[in-house]
Structure 1
Amino acid sequence: MRKEFTDQSKLIARYRNYLKLEKGLSPNSVEAYMLDLSKMLTFLEMENIPLLELQLEHMDQFAAFVIDLGIGARSLARILSGVRQFYQYLVVDGYIENNPTELVDSPRIPQHLPEVLSTAEVDILEQAIDLSKWEGHRNRAIIEVLFSCGLRVSELTHLKMSNLHLDEEFIRVIGKGSKERLVPISQRAIRELEFWFADRNVMNIKPGEENYVFLNRRGHHLTRTMVLIMIKKYAQQAGIRKTISPHTLRHSFATALLEGGADLRSIQAMLGHESIVTTEIYTHLDTSSLRRQILEHHPRNIHHHSPQPNPDDSETLLQ
C-alpha cells in the first residue's frame, strides 16, 4: 500500500535526513545531492508534473532542460544518478511502487585520464622546497604523505595526531561519508613527519587545533586551497610542466601501486573507493604506460622513432 503524500517540503526534508543519517554522507555531499535534486524539482514545477507522477519519457525532457542550463555531460550524469537515487528512496519508503528513472541512460562521458607523477618527479617536486624556511619540513611532509598514502586533500587537512600509529606504520583515515580506513605509511613519510613535528612542537597552537597534524604559521589547521596553492608553486619552481594538484599525488600513488603489481581490490581499499569501478580507471593509466613502453622499446618500433634521451638526464623526467 502506497504511503500517503501530503507535503513535498516535508518529504524532501526526510530525504535530506536519509542521506545524512542512513547513507552517512558528509554535509558537503548532502548539499550537492540536494542541489542536483532542486533542478529536478524546478523542472517538474515548470512542466506542471506532480512529483510522484514522473514517467520515463519525462526524463529526456529533463536532460534537455539541464543541458539548456549550460551543464556538461559529466555533471548531467551525476544529476541523473542523484535523481535515480531519490526515486529509489521513494520506492523503498513506500511512496511509489516502481522507480520511473531506472532505465534512464547516462550520457557518454569522454574519459580524460588524470595526470600522474613518477617517483622521480615527486622527488624533484620535494627538492624544490626550501627547508630553511619555517614551512619547509611541513610542506615536504605534506607531499610525501599524499604520495605515500594516497589521501584526498580533505583527508590530509583533517588528519589528526590521534590517528597516527607510526610505530605500527599505519594511519587511520576518515574518508567520505565518515568512513574509516587504515592505510600503511612508508618509512620515508614517517621520517618527513618527524622532521615536521620538531618544528610543530615549538609552535603556538590555537585552542581546539592541537590534534591536527598540519598547521599554518598562526596555529590553525590548513585548508584545501592552501595545499593546492603550495603544490602548484613547487611544481612551477621544479619545472614540472604537467597540470598538477594534490589529487595528482593520489593518482600517482595508485598508479605506482598498480605498476608495482598490487591488485585492484587492495588499491580500492587503500583509496577508500566505495566501488571497484572507480578504481578501474588506473588500469587505463597502466595500459597507457605499457603502450608507451612498447612503442619506445620494442625492436619493431625502435627504428620508427628518433633516439631516446639519456634516462639520467633530469629533463626527461619533466616531459
Structure 2
Amino acid sequence: MLSLSQATIETFLDELWSIDGLSDNTLNAYRTDLSLLACFLAAQRIELKQAGKQDLRDYLGWRKDKGFAKSSSARVLSAMRRFFGYLLEKTIIQLDPCVELSAPKRDRKLPGTLSEQDVERLLAEPDPEDTLECRDQAMLELLYATGLRVTELVGLTLDQISLRQGVVRVVGKGGKERLVPIGEMASASLERYLVSARELLLGGQSADVVFPSSQGRMMTRQTFWHRIKRYALRAGIHGDISPHTLRHAFATHLLNHGADLRVVQLLLGHSSLSTTQIYTHVAKLRLAQLHSEHHPRG
C-alpha cells in the first residue's frame, strides 16, 4: 500500500501526464526525485506536503554534502517547484515552500582546446591547390585569427571584410557589430582564396557570401564542422574537435601570450565580462606553469 506522500506524488504525476503529456522518462525522473525527498522528510517525521522552506533547504544541503551533482540538484528543484505549485493550485497547501529557493550554480566548464602545435598542424592540412580545401584553409585561418562564432563565419559577406585595413566587421548576437583584426597569415590565406578558388566554387553564380558551399550557397554549420573533423583526423589530432574548439584556442592562446581579459571579451563579442571569466582559469594555469618552469624554487 502506498504511503500518503507516495500517493500524492502519483496523483501529481497522473495529472502531469494527462495535461502536459510528459514523456515516461521525465515522469520517472520526477517520481525518483520526489520519492527521495519524501524519504528524507519521513526520516524526520515530516510528511511531504507539510514540508516548509527550511526543510527543502536542508534537503538540498544534504544532497550537496552527499556529493550529488549540481545539475542533478537543479533538476530536483525543478521537480519540487512543479509539485508544490500543483499542491498550491489544488489548495492542498496555503504557501509554496519553494519561493525564494534557488538552484545551485552549475560549474562552468571550459570547452576543449588545442595546443599551438596542434593548431599549426590543423591549419597546414588543407591543400591550397584544391578548390574546396583552399576555401577551408582560409576559413580555418580566419577562425583561429579572429575567434568568430561558426554562425558568424559561415554567414560572412564580402562587404564585411577589408583586406586593405586587415579587419573583419562581425555582426554578432543581438545584431551587435564589432571589428576584429584578421592578421597577416589569415589575410594571405583569405586573399589567395578570393583570387583563385571562390569564383570556381560559385561556377558563374553571383553571391555575397564569402565562403560558399560546393553548390554556390551559404555553407551550413554542420558542413563546416564535418570539414574540420576531416582535417583533424588527417593531421592525427584526436578528441572532440569543432569550430568552437578553434574559437576557444584563439582566446586561450591570446591570454597565454599576455592579452588582457577585457580585450579578449571585445574580440569574442561577449556582452558581459562574466562570460569571458571562464578563461581566467587558463591564465592562472599558464602562470603556474611559467612559475614552475622558470622560478628557482618553483
Does the alignment reach a TM-score above 0.5? yes
Q: 1:110: how far off?
A: 3.1
5+ long unaligned stretches in structure 1: 1-40, 44-55, 65-71, 81-100, 302-319
1:259 paired with 2:275, answer no
**Residue of structure 2 equivalent to 1:108:** 105
**Residue of structure 1 equivalent to 2:161:** 164
1:212 paired with 2:209, answer yes
Amino acid at match of 1:106: A
1:244 paired with 2:241, answer yes
Counterpart selection for 1:173 from 170, 175, 183 = 170
Amino acid at match of 2:177: E
Q: 1:136: how far off?
A: 1.3
Question: Aligned pair in 2 of structure 1 residues 205, 154: CA closer, same or farther (>3 Å)?
Answer: farther
5+ long unaligned stretches in structure 2: 1-18, 22-51, 61-69, 79-97
Q: Deviations over 1:2-46 (max 9, x none)?
A: xxxxxxxxxxxxxxxxxxxxxxxxxxxxxxxxxxxxxxx969xxx
Q: Deviations over 1:253-286 (max 9, x none)?
A: 1112212222111111111101101101111012
Q: Residues of 2 paired with 1:205 and 1:272: CA distance?
A: 34
Preserved CA contact (<8 Å) 1:160 1:213: yes
Amino acid at match of 1:183: V
Amino acid at match of 1:269: L
Preserved CA contact (<8 Å) 1:74 1:109: no
Q: Deviations over 1:52-86 (max 9, x none)?
A: xxxx96xx8xxx9xxxxxxx829959x99xxxxxx
1:275 paired with 2:272, answer yes
Question: Aligned pair in 2 of structure 1 residues 254, 102: CA closer, same or farther (>3 Å)?
Answer: farther
Q: Deviations over 1:189-216 (max 9, x none)?
A: 1111111112112443586x61111111
**Residue of structure 1 equivalent to 2:133:** 136
Preserved CA contact (<8 Å) 1:205 1:220: no
1:234 paired with 2:231, answer yes
Q: 1:297: how far off?
A: 5.7
1:121 paired with 2:118, answer yes
User: Could you state the TM-score of these two structures normalised by the residue count of structure 2?
Assistant: 0.64
Give the number of aligned pairs.
220
Question: Computing the radius of gyration over CA atoms, which structure comes out larger, 1 or 2?
Answer: 2
**Residue of structure 2 equivalent to 1:223:** 220
Q: 1:238: how far off?
A: 0.7
Secondary structure of the residue aligned to 1:261 is coil
Amino acid at match of 2:220: T
Name whichever of 181-190 and 119-128 sits farther off. Answer: 119-128
Q: Residues of 2 paired with 1:287 and 1:75: CA distance?
A: 29
Q: Residues of 1 paired with 2:275 and 2:134: CA distance?
A: 33
Q: Residues of 1 paired with 2:266 and 2:254: CA distance?
A: 12
Amino acid at match of 1:145: L
Question: Aligned pair in 2 of structure 1 residues 138, 177: CA closer, same or farther (>3 Å)?
Answer: same
Q: Runs (4+) of structure 1 moved beyond 6 Å?
A: none
Q: Residues of 2 paired with 1:110 and 1:182: CA distance?
A: 31
Question: Aligned pair in 2 of structure 1 residues 274, 216: CA closer, same or farther (>3 Å)?
Answer: same
Q: How does 1:287-298 map to 2 (within 5 A)?
A: 287-295=284-292
Preserved CA contact (<8 Å) 1:172 1:181: yes
Name whichever of 277-286 and 117-126 sits farther off. Answer: 117-126
Amino acid at match of 1:204: L
User: Could you state the TM-score of these two structures normalised by the residue count of structure 1?
Assistant: 0.60
Counterpart selection for 2:197 from 185, 196, 199 = 199
**Residue of structure 1 equivalent to 2:186:** 189
Preserved CA contact (<8 Å) 2:150 2:244: yes
Secondary structure of the residue aligned to 2:170 is strand
Q: Deviations over 1:220-275 (max 9, x none)?
A: 11110011111111111111123221001111111122122221111111111011
Q: Residues of 2 paired with 1:250 and 1:170: CA distance?
A: 17
Secondary structure of the residue aligned to 2:244 is helix
